Amino acid sequence: MQQAGSEAAPAFRLALSIAAGIAGFAFVRRKLGFDHARQHAAIALASGLLDANRDCLKVLDTDGKMLRVSEHGATLMEAETPEQLDGADWLNFWRGEHRSAAEDAWVGALAGTSTCFTASCDTTKGNAKWWSSTLTPVVEDGAVVALLCASEDVTRQSALLKTLREQNELMHEMESHVRLAFYSYSPDFEHCYHVSAGIEGVFGITSQVLSRSPSAWLDLVLPEDTEPLRAEMRRIVAESAEGRFEYRIRRPDGCLRWIRSTAYPVRDAAGSVTRIVGVSEDITVEQERLVALDRLAYTDGLTGLANRAALVRRMKVLCAKKIAFGLMFIDLDRFKVLNDTLGHTAADRLLKDIANIIQKALPADACVARLGGDEFAVIVNGTSDKDTLTTLAESLLNVFSSGTRKDQTGAFVTASIGISLHPEHGNDHEALLTSADIAMYAAKKGGRNGFRFADKAASDVLGDFELERGLPAALASGQFVLHFQGIHEPRSLAVKSLEALVRWNHPTRGMVGPASFIPILEESGFIVEVGAWVVDAALEQLAIWRAAGQGSLCMSVNVSARQLRDNAIVAVVDQGLRKHRLPPRCLEIELTESALMENPALAQETLMSLKRLGVRIAIDDFGTGYSSLRYLADFSPDTVKIDRFFTARLGHDEATASIVRGIIQMSHELGMKVTAEGVETKEQLHILRDASCDYVQGFFLTKPMNAASMATTRHLMALQQGQTSIGQSA
Residues within the interface to ligand C2E (CB under 6 A): 485, 501-502, 513-515, 518, 531, 534, 558-560, 590, 620-621, 644, 677-680, 698-699, 704
Cβ at position 697, least distance to Ca ion in Å: 9
Cβ at position 621, least distance to Ca ion in Å: 4
Q: Among ligand C2E, Ca ion, none, what does residue 331 contact (CB within 5–8 Å per kind)?
A: none
CB closer to ligand C2E, 357 vs 502: 502
What length is written for the chain? 730
Cβ at position 380, least distance to ligand C2E in Å: 33
| C-alpha–C-alpha distance, residues 543 and 55, integer Å | 133
Give 144's strand partners: 139
Q: Answer yes or no: are the C-beta atoms of 720 and 498 closer than 8 Å.
A: no
Q: Among Ca ion, ligand C2E, none, what does residue 513 contact (CB within 5–8 Å per kind)?
A: ligand C2E
Burial class (CB in 10 A: 0-12, 13-18, 19+), 623: buried
Angle of helix 600-613 relative to helix 568-579, nearest 10 degrees?
20
Q: Among Ca ion, ligand C2E, none, what does residue 64 contact (CB within 5–8 Å per kind)?
A: none
Q: Among Ca ion, ligand C2E, none, what does residue 501 contact (CB within 5–8 Å per kind)?
A: ligand C2E
Cβ at position 300, least distance to ligand C2E in Å: 34
Collapsing DSSP states into helix, strand and coil, what is residue 622?
A: strand
In the chain, % helix, strand, coil (3-state, to 5) comes to 50, 25, 30
CB closer to ligand C2E, 353 vs 621: 621
Q: Among ligand C2E, Ca ion, none, what does residue 680 contact (CB within 5–8 Å per kind)?
A: ligand C2E
Return the amino acid letter for 507: P
Q: Among Ca ion, ligand C2E, none, what does residue 150 contact (CB within 5–8 Å per kind)?
A: none
CB closer to ligand C2E, 44 vs 511: 511
Cβ at position 558, least distance to Ca ion in Å: 5
CA distance to 49, 53, 157, 180, 585, per residue, from 14 (Å)? 8, 8, 22, 50, 137
Cβ at position 679, least distance to ligand C2E in Å: 6
| C-alpha–C-alpha distance, residues 461 and 156, integer Å | 91
Cβ at position 678, least distance to Ca ion in Å: 8
Q: What are phi and psi of 648, to 5 degrees?
A: -60, -25
Q: Among Ca ion, ligand C2E, none, what does residue 204 contact (CB within 5–8 Å per kind)?
A: none
Q: Among Ca ion, ligand C2E, none, what does residue 490 contact (CB within 5–8 Å per kind)?
A: none
CB closer to ligand C2E, 259 vs 502: 502
CB closer to ligand C2E, 276 vs 577: 577
Nearest to 106 by CA among 152, 64, 55: 64
Cβ at position 450, least distance to ligand C2E in Å: 15
Cβ at position 319, least distance to ligand C2E in Å: 40
CB closer to Ca ion, 300 vs 590: 590
Q: What are phi and psi of 81, to 5 degrees?
A: -140, 160
DSSP string of 83-146, one letter each residue: GGGTT-BSGGGB-HHHHHHHHHHHHHHHTT--EEEEEEEE-TTS-EEEEEEEEEEEEETTEEEE
Burial class (CB in 10 A: 0-12, 13-18, 19+), 186: middle
Q: Among Ca ion, ligand C2E, none, what does residue 502 contact (CB within 5–8 Å per kind)?
A: ligand C2E
> In the complex, which residues of this chain contact Ca ion (CB under 5 A)?
558, 590, 620-621, 677
| C-alpha–C-alpha distance, residues 428 and 446, integer Å | 27
Nearest to 597 by CA among 574, 569, 567, 631: 631
CA distance to 4, 61, 69, 105, per residue, from 119 (Å)? 16, 21, 19, 11
CB closer to ligand C2E, 18 vs 591: 591
Cβ at position 559, least distance to ligand C2E in Å: 6
Q: What are phi and psi of 208, to 5 degrees?
A: -65, -45
